[in-house]
A = this chain, B = another copy of it.
């Protein structure tokens, strides 16, 4: 049922053979990114077949006017859209007067793509017979530099196979591009200057409304059989394009190569009037380095990333490929260098969903970045939310909340809410809980408390205020209830007393109260500053405490389980496995009302609570809830399988855990949801990492220490991962028979393995134990 054209390989994503209907999917799978910019795997040369063009610049967006059926008070006016940026990769190729276009070639042989994840480059090669019967061999190598993150590099090589040929390369820039995703067919870019200077060219354009100024640039050089051709290209300019025309007649068997550097300088990093200057500067740098040396830098930089974040799996190449694909794309999307950026659900691989930041970041991504990068990276993600606190307060105010209550947006680019379905925008408020949980999780993992007095406590106060005001006292129940919400399971809307929401609301209030006290005791200056800013009174915190204390949770005594929401047991409780396969996925086959009144669960909801607050429940309770809810779960969100994989592993159901793992790790490679052409599911990739580290490895923080309960799927010989825990690097390797811990550095470290305390000492860094 699923695609399987990607060749299994430990380190590369490989496609062989040219199939037009795979082009858009491959454009997603072979995407490149360097944290600052990204590029779908579009062809450089002209292509008239179906394609989805995408070049992206981190943090550059457009506030598209919202489109709704029926306006509701409180809706945002604008939806921040990820923006297709001017094209810098384009190179039209003419062979004996005929434009190369794989859609019209008489024959395309040996077509091959490879995304080399170990070294961070992408190559495409093929042999084509053009309509004019010229036969050529082509090989293109492309990468986006990690070291010079405004620049990408392309090496486009053509060999004349069957005859002497008149060849021409027309590298170009184009700002007359469109977005697939636009509500009103607005023009998003305004081009203000098209200039060329020798072998360099520049297009200055700024986004409408948001006014991000950019300079898209390029510089190209032509080589004949590796020898530089010194001829100056002809130039052709239009209002939104600039083309350089290189040409050369070559002999049969000769090779002509174009090296093109291109990319963007942007007003977020430079003065708007110095963008061309900045572009010239960076072009000078990279042309001096040259293509091959830059590629060597790329290999080194990626090897450093892999050094820390790689996960190895022996004995299961598809699983190995899957996890590396996930880790690779996470690193392509976000490197944590810039606290203005975040982890978009499609990263730099598509436009869908718009915005850049969902609760995915806090709930699914932070653990990966905490464990595989310096703690500054995770702290940058927290700082991002601190910087948006004022807008979260404004967002809550629009919905009638007062006194500094904060509701973080469902989807955002700059802190403002972008989404506009009432059942999500106004009601999927549990997202606020994940923001607070991430603060807790960050401190738990890094032991860096400073974030809390400096920034986090203000965020916690805003969130606690929101929950306090959002709860309703039910006289009938003599409890506080939370009415009209959508939980993580978006297949239920406007329900009352969603267990997960009520639980995290209570937890948020208690956590805020606890941290308030800690800051008061330990950081009195910060405390006074914060009280001054927030005008928090004892009366108010007492009111919070009352809500937390008397929070209601729907519970069924007979089953001994918390109910996902009030009334859940009124549903027709037919397990998913009894559904007709033709009716799946239900979100494509059923009308919305039918989904809503069904028991089917899109992604972990009650179980998300058991995931976050695992230590609040016994394993028996987890098992009972898992056994009740998982059978109704359709896992139609990319964020679903990972949490279930972790819990299945904990319950020692390794077959099930492994099945969930495969589903999450190869979701895009195998295109489970038949939508990979729209882009990849970046944030769920962090969930894949969790499936291994927290699921199979059983890694937790318990009593301020790392703890492991290693298990291994029977399909694997071994797996290994590394964790950066409070600046100590620990490598964990698990085989069927033993687990090995390998600690870098000299100090000892105390961990817990299967509940037992183990001290990894300086002298005995490697510790093995039989599983």
| A400-B591 contact in complex given A473-B572, A496-B570, A567-B496, C-beta closer than 8 Å | yes
Q: Is A589 an interface residue (CB 8 A)?
A: yes
Minimum-distance CB pairs A-B, first 4: A74-B591, A426-B593, A483-B597, A484-B597
Counting CB contacts under 8 A, is A581 at the interface? no
CA distance A191 to B427 in the complex (A): 48
A613 at the binding interface (Cβ < 8 Å): no
Q: Is the CB of B422 within 8 A of A593?
A: yes
A569 within 8 A of B: yes
Selecting from A13-21, A62-70, A143-151, the interface stretch reads: A62-70
Give the distance to chain B from A562, nearest Cβ to Cβ, in Å.
Answer: 15
Which residues of B have CB within 8 Å of A205?
Answer: none
Mark out the residues of chain A between 122 and 144 whose CB falls within 8 Å of any chain B CB in the assembled complex. none
What chain B residues lie within 8 Å of A534 (beta carbons)? none
Within 8 A of B (CB), among A658-700: none
A555 contacts partner chain B, Cβ-Cβ < 8 Å: no
Distance in angstroms between the alpha carbons of A573 and B474 in the assembled complex: 9
A:72-120 near B, CB below 8 Å: 72-74
A626 CB to nearest chain B CB (Å):
21
In the complex, whether A399 has a CB less than 8 A from a CB of chain B is yes
Do residues A476 and B570 form an inter-chain contact, with CB atoms below 8 A? yes
Q: Is the CB–CB distance between A69 and B72 below 8 Å?
A: no
Question: Which residues of B have CB within 8 Å of A571?
Answer: 472, 474, 483
Does residue A618 face the partner (Cβ distance < 8 Å to B)? Answer: no
The answer, yes or no, to whether A252 is at the interface (CB within 8 Å) is no
Bound CA–CA A659/B593 (angstroms):
39
Which partner residue on chain B sits nearest A586 by CB separation?
B73
Q: Taking the complex as formed, is A510 at the interface, i.e. its CB lies under 8 A from any CB of chain B?
A: no
Q: A276: shortest Cβ distance to chain B, in Å?
A: 39
Please, which residues of chain B bring their CB within 8 A of the CB of A423? Answer: 494
A591 to B423, CA, bound (A): 12
A744 to chain B, nearest CB (A): 48
Q: Indicate with 1 or 0, residue by residue over A199-233, a CB within 8 angstroms of chain B CB atoms.
A: 00000000000000000000000000000000000
Interfacial residues, chain A to chain B (CB-CB below 8 A):
66-70, 72-74, 398-400, 420-423, 426-427, 472-477, 481, 483-484, 493-497, 566-567, 569-573, 587-594, 596-597
| A475 surroundings in chain B (CB, below 8 A) | 569, 573
In the assembled complex, the CB of A579 is this many whole angstroms from the nearest CB of chain B, namely: 13
Cα(A74)–Cα(B587), bound, Å:
11
Q: Which chain B residue has the least Cβ–Cβ distance from A79? A: B69
Q: How far is the CA of A669 from the CA of B615 in the complex (A)?
A: 64
Of B70, B495, B588, B597, the residue contacting A472 (CB under 8 A) is B597
Among the listed B398, B567, B587, which residue makes an inter-chain contact with A567, where contact means beta carbons less than 8 Å apart?
A: B567
Q: A70 and B421 in contact (CB under 8 A), knowing A474-B570, A496-B570, A597-B484? A: yes
What residues of B have a CB within 8 angstroms of the CB of A67 in the complex? 67-69
Give the nearest-CB partner of A492 in chain B.
B494
Q: A68-B69, A493-B493 are in contact. List 7 more A-B contacts (CB 8 A).
A: A400-B590, A426-B592, A426-B593, A476-B570, A493-B494, A494-B495, A567-B567
Interface majority SS (helix, strand, loop, mixed), chain A: loop
- Chain B: which residue is nearest A572 at the CB level? B472
Contact: B472 with A427, CB < 8 Å? Answer: no
On whether A569 and B69 interact (CB within 8 A), knowing A591-B74, A592-B74, the answer reads no
Could you say which of B69, B476, B591 contacts A426, with CB atoms under 8 Å apart? B591
**Known pairs A474-B570, A494-B494, A496-B567; A593 contacts B421 (CB<8 A):** no
A66, A426, A427 interface centre (most CB from chain B within 10 Å):
A426
A42: shortest Cβ distance to chain B, in Å? 27
Q: Which of B69, B420, B496, B573 interacts with A420 by CB under 8 Å?
A: B69
A422's partner among B481, B569, B592 (CB-CB below 8 A) is B592
What's the least CB distance linking A590 to chain B, in Å? 6
CB A75 to nearest CB in B, in angstroms, measures: 9
Q: Which of A399, A495, A567, A569 has the most CB of B within 10 A?
A: A567
A66's nearest neighbour on chain B, judged by CB, is: B69
Contacts of A573 in B (CB 8 A): 475
Taking a contact as CB atoms under 8 Å apart, the answer to whether A569 and B483 are in contact is: no
Q: How far is the CA of A566 from the CA of B398 in the complex (A)?
A: 29
- Residues in B neighbouring A420, C-beta threshold 8 A: 69
Return chain B residues, CB-CB under 8 Å to A496. Answer: 567, 570
In the complex, A68→B421 CA distance in Å?
10
Contact, CB under 8 Å: B594 / A400: yes
Residue numbers in B under 8 Å from A477 (CB-CB): 570
Residues of B within 8 A of A590 (CB): 73, 400
Q: Which residues does chain B contribute within 8 Å of A569, judged by CB atoms? A: 474-476
Question: Contact at B68–A399, with CB atoms within 8 Å?
Answer: no
In chain B, what residue has the closest Cβ to A479? B570
- A421 CB contact (under 8 Å) in B69, B400, B476, B494: B69
From known contacts A67-B69, A570-B481, infer whether A596 and B399 are also in contact, taking CB-CB under 8 Å. no
Which residues from B are CB-within-8-Å of A421?
69-70
CB distance from A430 to the nearest CB of B (A): 13
- The reply to whether A593 and B69 form a contact with Cβ atoms under 8 Å apart is no
In the bound assembly, the distance between CA atoms of A215 and B765 in angstroms comes to 93
Cα A51 to Cα B147 in complex, Å, equals: 62
A713–chain B nearest beta-carbon distance, Å = 36
**Closest approach, in angstroms, between the C-beta of A251 and any C-beta of chain B?**
57
- Taken together as a complex, chains A and B put the C-alpha atoms of A571 and B482 apart, in Å, by 10
A400: chain B residues at CB < 8 Å are 590-591, 594
A-B contact pairs, 29 of them (CB 8 A): A67-B67, A67-B68, A67-B69, A69-B420, A69-B421, A73-B587, A73-B589, A73-B590, A73-B591, A398-B591, A399-B594, A400-B594, A422-B592, A422-B593, A426-B593, A472-B570, A472-B597, A474-B569, A475-B573, A476-B569, A476-B570, A483-B597, A484-B593, A484-B597, A493-B493, A494-B495, A494-B596, A566-B566, A566-B567
Q: B592 touching A73 by the CB < 8 A rule?
A: yes
